[in-house]
Amino acid sequence: MRYHDQLTQWLCAIALSIVLAASAIAQTFPYEVFDKDLPAPSVYKARREQLLTSMAARTACIVLSADVRNRQNDVDFEYRQSSDMLYMCGSPAPGSTLLLVKDGVTINGRSFTEILFIPERKPEREVWQGVSMGPAEAMQYLGVDTAIVTKNMKWILDSIVKNLDTLAVSTLPTRSLGVPLAGKNLYAEGEIKRWLKEANPQCILKTPIRAIAEMREVKDTCELRLLRKAIDISMKGHLETMKGARPGMKEYELEALMEYTFKRKGAQDVGYPSIVGSNYNACILHYTANRRATEMNDLVLADCGAEYHGYTADITRTFPMTGRFTKDQRTIYEIVLEAQDSGIAASTMGSDFRAPHAAAMRVVERRLRELGIITTMGEADEVKRYFMHGTSHYLGLDVHDPGTGGPLKANSVITVEPGVYIPAGSPCDKRWWNIGVRIEDDILITPEGPVNLSGALARTAEDIERLMTSDE
């Protein structure tokens, strides 16, 4: 036998042993996706039952997993599950689909109102990607009534759709992940509509699902625990960044210090791309390039939040690179701080969702007029030149979490984040140019009044200067 043939046989034997070893690992290795901070299966079960209770007869609900996003060539981005899937059952698996049927679906003589479709485990893939969750693990760790491999989903959907009046889909990914035709590179909404037209022309497709948005607007005890953890980690990141800031550092060095602290304290990821803008970049609302070298007397606006088990904080602090605000910087900073104080005070249970914005806007408009930066009181377009965004949004599994936009409810969490941004070329005195300030905190709505969950982080100009100039 030639050497080349022997080498081929040896390589095949090695490959086979790896597959066999992977099979043994897949059978014996414990699946450790959950830790003590995550909700118990009973919590997810209660959420699904709440959604089922809100559904009308002859209605089914589908919750899809997030797409696997390609970065380039054969490299994908790190996977992050869709927020609705995390909320309803906690499944970490791509390609999974949760089906809730108000009237139930019969399988092998048993009726189920909830089914999780999930890809089957493949030991040869686990050699490369680690232990995955299959149907057996899903029932064990997620507490769903039944879990079935995804390839069986189409015939089950085909069997129930003819009896439906409404099919509700929580979110629609770019490409179909098995609903209802696995493996087709078609836009999901168009694919589902074509399938419904053929299977049941009378069935109405609804997306997104308002009932899920209403549920996610009000946080339960488990969610508040995870949010507090994300916020605590984020405060530590902002603290270390302000303490470590020195003129001449690049914006990305500040970003690195921030995100290093997030990871070191246990965050899985950032909740959104970090915004670290200095000087004129602080006047760009969603600036994420973070490449500029800072200079003496620069203000830096850092809008950064850590994600912990899917839940994200959203905190912004604006600080001087020298550790001391200039007179003009401090003047604008105090305006934004006063506006935020007013917005937080207006964040009371039963108040209109836009009440914090209205309160903050009144302060900004009055103070900018007193400085001569704007000249006409009550001209909305003029003040919006310098404060052009809303003051609040819901916070949770998404940085811009879903909600109803109605009166504020107990155990909702919102941001309060007024800002003033005066880029070069603005129609005001040049002394104010390139000053951009935003102060953002995460506010829990309670019957006793608003609670600033991130309020322990230095927020006043005095506290920031004290923090940055301390030798400790």
What are residue 50's phi and psi, to 5 degrees? Answer: -65, -45
Whole-angstrom Cα Rg for the chain = 26
- Between 258 and 154, name the one with better pLDDT: 258
pLDDT at 175 over 60: no
The DSSP letter of residue 189 is H
The CATH architecture to which 218-469 belongs is Alpha-Beta Complex (3.90)
pLDDT of residue 378: 60
- Maximal C-alpha separation, the chain: 93
pTM, rounded to two decimals: 0.90
Lowest-pLDDT choice from 80-94, 193-207, 344-358, 395-409: 193-207
Closest C-alpha among 41, 129, 52, 123 to residue 93: 129
Mean pLDDT along residues 203-217 = 93
Superfamily of structural domain 22-214:
Creatinase/prolidase N-terminal domain (3.40.350.10)
All structural domains of the chain with their residue ranges: 22-214, 218-469
What are residue 350's phi and psi, to 5 degrees? Answer: 95, -15
What are residue 90's phi and psi, to 5 degrees? Answer: 80, 10
In degrees to the nearest 10, what's the CA dihedral of 66, 53, 60, 91? 30
Domain 22-214 matches domain 218-469 at the CATH topology level: no
Active site residues: 74, 286, 303, 314, 389, 393, 400, 417, 421, 438, 440
d(CA 69, CA 286): 22
Distance (Å) of CA 217 to CA 18, 41, 211, 410? 47, 20, 10, 10
What are residue 188's phi and psi, to 5 degrees? Answer: -60, -45
pLDDT tens digits along 402-415: 999 999 999 999 99
pLDDT tens digits along 62-107: 999 988 888 999 999 999 999 999 999 999 999 899 999 999 999 8
pLDDT of residue 154: 87
- Both tokens of 141, joined, read 């760790």
Task: For tokens 């209605």, name the residue.
Answer: 59
Q: Are 283 and 436 in contact (CB under 8 A)?
A: yes
* Residue 77 burial class via C-beta count within 10 angstroms: exposed 0-12, middle 13-18, buried 19 and up: exposed
pLDDT of residue 28: 41
Average pLDDT, the chain: 89
